[in-house]
Amino acid sequence: MKRTTINKEEIDKFSKMAEEWWNPDGKFKPLHKFNPIRIEYIKNSIIKNFNINYENLPLKNIDILDIGCGGGLLTEPMSRLGANVTGIDASLKNINIAKAHLKKSKLKIKYINTLPEKLLVKKKFDVILNMEIVEHVEDLEFFIKKSSELLKINGLMFVATLNKTLKSFVFAIVGAEYILRWLPIGTHDWEKFVEPSKLVDYGNKFSLKLNKIDGLKFNPIINKWSISNDKSVNYITEFKKL
């Protein structure tokens, strides 16, 4: 059987919510809250790795691939920072929403309805973003392999996901979906959550060395996300291609 990263149930689930992508109070509200810390983390890491010194456009001349870009919530900010961005998603509906929003933002982004294993490129990317996507793919090992193949030597790959712990079940599923109703019930499947050790093992297998791993936590009092030492629920990793 041919390997694939696509999980049709997951694609259908997010396609049904596609109209909500750019509504800050809609079904993707947690991602809107999450976005500032993601952008800052990625931007600072890229600047440090590539020794960039453009004040107004800090990511100028950096080629970024945003895998599982959804409606473009992270793709657009990366473009505003000066990067050349390509966003891909397995859901055509998501891509159409992203393209429609592009008409308002007037940014130069290439959006493609495809999978990492089917993306044909003339040149590889400096940076790959796999943000809140690995817990929704069908074959994680194959996904990391194909992502690595699209990355330049010395390029960076960022992966943000949910750890597979009892705490993540309580907070991310029971709390976020059933009690607080931050997310539609059924958004996440705890069985598909990913332990950092598994991610590191797959990374090592496909020439990706772990540079750093940080936890992410939400403070309900100030209504903001921040970087944390606690990786038991949300965490973000930075890998470098060897």
Q: What is the mean pLDDT of each run of 10 residues along the chain (242 residues)?
A: 89 91 90 94 96 87 97 98 97 97 96 97 96 95 98 98 88 62 73 94 98 93 92 96 98
CA distances from 120 to 108, 166, 222 (A): 19, 40, 44
Long-range contacts formed by 77-85: CB under 8 A, 24+ apart: 77/35, 77/39, 78/39, 78/42, 78/129, 79/107, 79/108, 79/109, 80/107, 81/39, 81/43, 81/57, 82/54, 82/56, 82/57, 82/58, 83/59, 83/127, 84/108, 85/109, 85/110
pLDDT at 177: 55
Phi, psi of 6 (to 5 degrees): -85, 130
Q: pLDDT at position 188, please?
A: 76
Identity of residue 132 = E
Distance in angstroms (rounded) separating the CA atoms of residues 65 and 196: 22
Q: Give the pLDDT confidence score for residue 1 in this predicted structure.
A: 73
Containing structural domain, residue 208: 8-241
b/e code 216-232 from CB counts within 10 Å (16+ = b): bbbeeeeeebeebeebb
Going by C-alpha positions, the residue among 127, 3, 123, 111 that lies closest to residue 64 is 127
pLDDT at 70: 96
pLDDT score at 175: 56
Q: Does residue 115 fall inside a structural domain?
A: yes
- Can you give the pLDDT at residue 174? 62
pLDDT at residue 53 in the model: 79
**Residue 3 within any structural domain of the chain:** no
> How many structural domains are present in the chain?
1
Q: What is the pLDDT of residue 89?
A: 97
- C-beta separation of 104 from 86 below 8 A: no
Nearest-CA neighbor of 71 among 32, 124, 34?
A: 32
What number of residues does the chain have? 242
The answer to whether residue 154 is domain-embedded is yes
d(CA 233, CA 172) in angstroms, rounded, equals 7
Q: What is this structure's pTM?
A: 0.93
The answer to whether position 65 is within a domain reads yes
Tell whether 2 is covered by a domain. Answer: no
Supply the CATH number for residue 178's domain. 3.40.50.150
Asked whether the beta carbons of 66 and 77 are under 8 A apart, the reply is: no
d(CA 108, CA 125): 16
